[in-house]
């Protein structure tokens, strides 16, 4: 089943990117006060706010693109689990520090080529959003890459836990590179790249960092997908319940 | 003498080789931020990090997130050597006001120094 949540391809596409960013931002926000050191709490909060900021730009533009008057809050706070079209990778839980960083590394290695391509979009506003996102993503990738090397090349325990996180999250990586009719339509107008075209850059980054870090791709190559159609792992519902309950309990509440 | 680095609860003293010696704690680093080109790096505080690269990244998140800087230095706190005994080090200068340039007539042509 294909759930088109907005009336235009551009709107649908922007909501997907917004969903990726708001869900990952929420996950990183949850992690504040739970990182192994205060400094990593700060880094997590900073990264979270970068993703949240991108989600706001993307949702606001999506609302204008679809023309139904939906606001950024309508997208983030008033849609249910089946209406979220984020990739399943970003909703995976903060099992431990290694899971948080591996999830981030996989996503950063995807976002850098994504924003690089979108910065060349024929849609000037999307290109401007992407140019801003690219600078943030490049820093995120630098941080998560260096942590991959530290965890992989650190102690036996850190290597083991990093590899366990890779094995657990590997199955959610192919989904980032699936293309569909929405992307084909945008690609024809050179508004957005096909996600499949981003995979080579991702593989190159992952292999290079894994080699330095003494880590390996998962031996289990099973892959799953469905997030872009609104089919998610069980974790997303709990995340949204926590994120949305205030707005659901007190509709229209604002600071 | 060297600067006494306060230890976190459970933290063991570091050795000077740049390696953390405890399972609990990362070593302490002092952070210096240059606010803009042409100004000196200024001490802004300290943080914990396992190595220099991570210390720079943590300094970025802890001390420059409101666009306070264009450059960051980090130095292991154990490498800072501080003065001691202020009475003999600095008090002797307090009764030597003639070392301030206030006893000279400044020619008008000089203008504002």
Helix/strand/coil (H, E, C) string of chain B? CECCCCCCCCCCCCCCCCCCCCCCCCCEEEEEEECCCCCCEEEEEEEECCCHHHHHHHHHHHHCCCCCCCEEEEEEHHHCECCCCHHHHCHHHCCCHHHCCCCCCCCHHHCCC
**Pairwise CA distance, residues B48 & B76, whole Å:** 10
Q: Predicted confidence band at A15 (pLDDT cuts at 50, 70, 90)?
A: very high
Q: What is the mean pLDDT of residues B35-54?
A: 94
CA distances from A94 to A31, A99, A161, A196, A201 (A): 7, 6, 13, 27, 26
Instruction: Give the number of domains in chain B.
Output: 1
A46 in contact with chain B, both atoms CB, cutoff 8 A: yes
- pLDDT surpasses 60 at B5: no
CB burial of A79-90 (b: ≥16 within 10 Å; e: otherwise) equals bebeebbbbbbb
Residue A2 domain flag: no
Q: Cβ–Cβ of B49/A150 closer than 8 Å?
A: no
In terms of residue numbers, what domain contains A236? 9-249
A219 in contact with chain B, both atoms CB, cutoff 8 A: no
- How much is the pLDDT for B86? 82
> pLDDT of A194-226, one tens digit each?
999 999 999 999 999 999 999 999 999 999 999
Residue A180 domain flag: yes
Predicted complex ipTM exceeds 0.95: no
Q: Cβ–Cβ of B57/A42 closer than 8 Å?
A: no
* Cα B44 → chain centroid: 7
CATH number at residue B55: 3.10.20.520
CATH number at residue A106: 1.20.1260.10
C-alpha dihedral, B12 to B32 to B69 to A120, nearest 10°: -60
Whether residue A130 contacts residue A121, with contact meaning beta carbons closer than 8 Å, is answered with yes
Residue A27 domain flag: yes
Residue B48 domain flag: yes
Name the closest residue on chain A to residue B28, using Cα atoms. Answer: A39
CA distance B39 to chain A (A): 25
- How much is the pLDDT for B12? 55
A38 in contact with chain B, both atoms CB, cutoff 8 A: yes
Give me the residues paired with residue B30 across strands: B46, B75
**Pairwise CA distance, residues A212 & A205, whole Å:** 11
In terms of residue numbers, what domain contains B62? 28-86
- pLDDT surpasses 90 at B43: yes
> Could you tell me where the DSSP H helices lie in A67-192?
72-77, 97-118, 124-152, 156-169, 181-188
Least reliable range by pLDDT among A81-85, A161-165, B4-8: B4-8
Whether residue A126 contacts residue A66, with contact meaning beta carbons closer than 8 Å, is answered with no
Name the closest residue on chain A to residue B46, using Cα atoms. Answer: A39
Residue B59 domain flag: yes
For the beta carbon of residue A236, count every other beta carbon within 10 angstroms: 23
Mean of all residue pLDDT scores within chain B: 82
Residue A3 domain flag: no
Instruction: Give the number of domains in chain A.
Output: 1
Walk across the sheet containing B28-34 and list its strands: B41-48, B28-34, B71-76
> pLDDT of A123-156, one tens digit each?
999 999 999 999 999 999 999 999 999 999 999 9
For the beta carbon of residue A36, count every other beta carbon within 10 angstroms: 10
Q: Predicted confidence band at A232 (pLDDT cuts at 50, 70, 90)?
A: very high
Residue A79 domain flag: yes
**Pairwise CA distance, residues A57 & A62, whole Å:** 9
Q: Predicted confidence band at A3 (pLDDT cuts at 50, 70, 90)?
A: very low
Q: Which residues of A touch B62 (CB under 8 A)?
A: 39, 42
- 């210096």: which residue's tokens? B32
């Amino acid at each position: 089943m294909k759930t088109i949540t907005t009336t235009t391809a551009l709107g649908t596409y922007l909501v997907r990117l917004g969903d990726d960013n708001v869900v990952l931002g929420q996950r990183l926000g949850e992690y504040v006060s739970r990182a192994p050191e205060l400094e990593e709490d700060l880094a997590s909060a900073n990264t979270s706010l970068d993703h949240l900021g991108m989600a706001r730009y993307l949702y606001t533009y999506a609302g204008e693109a679809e023309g139904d008057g939906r606001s950024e809050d309508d997208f983030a706070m008033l849609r249910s689990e089946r209406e979220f079209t984020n990739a399943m990778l970003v909703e995976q839980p903060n099992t431990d520090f290694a899971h948080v960083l591996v999830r981030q590394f996989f996503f950063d290695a995807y976002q850098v080529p994504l924003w690089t391509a979108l910065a060349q979009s024929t849609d000037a506003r999307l290109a401007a959003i992407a140019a801003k996102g690219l600078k943030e993503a490049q820093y995120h990738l630098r941080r998560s890459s260096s942590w991959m090397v530290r965890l992989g090349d650190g102690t036996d325990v850190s290597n083991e836990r990093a590899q366990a996180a890779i094995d657990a999250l590997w199955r959610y990586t192919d989904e980032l590179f699936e293309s569909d009719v929405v992307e084909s339509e945008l690609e024809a107008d050179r508004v957005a790249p096909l996600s499949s075209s981003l995979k080579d850059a991702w593989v190159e980054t992952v292999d290079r960092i894994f080699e330095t870090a003494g880590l390996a791709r998962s031996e289990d190559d099973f892959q799953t997908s469905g997030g872009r159609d609104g089919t998610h792992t069980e974790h997303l519902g709990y995340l949204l319940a926590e994120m949305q309950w205030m707005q659901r309990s007190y509709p229209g509440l604002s600071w | 003498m060297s600067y006494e680095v306060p230890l976190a609860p459970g933290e063991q003293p570091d050795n000077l080789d740049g390696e953390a010696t405890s399972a609990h704690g990362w070593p302490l680093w002092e952070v210096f931020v240059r606010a803009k080109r042409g100004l000196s790096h200024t001490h802004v505080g300290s943080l914990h990090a396992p190595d220099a690269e991570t210390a720079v990244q943590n300094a970025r998140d802890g001390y420059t997130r409101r666009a306070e800087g264009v450059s960051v230095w980090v130095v292991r706190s154990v490498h800072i050597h501080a003065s001691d005994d202020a009475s003999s080090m600095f008090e002797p200068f307090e009764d030597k006001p003639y070392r301030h340039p206030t006893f000279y007539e400044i020619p008008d042509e000089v203008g504002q120094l």
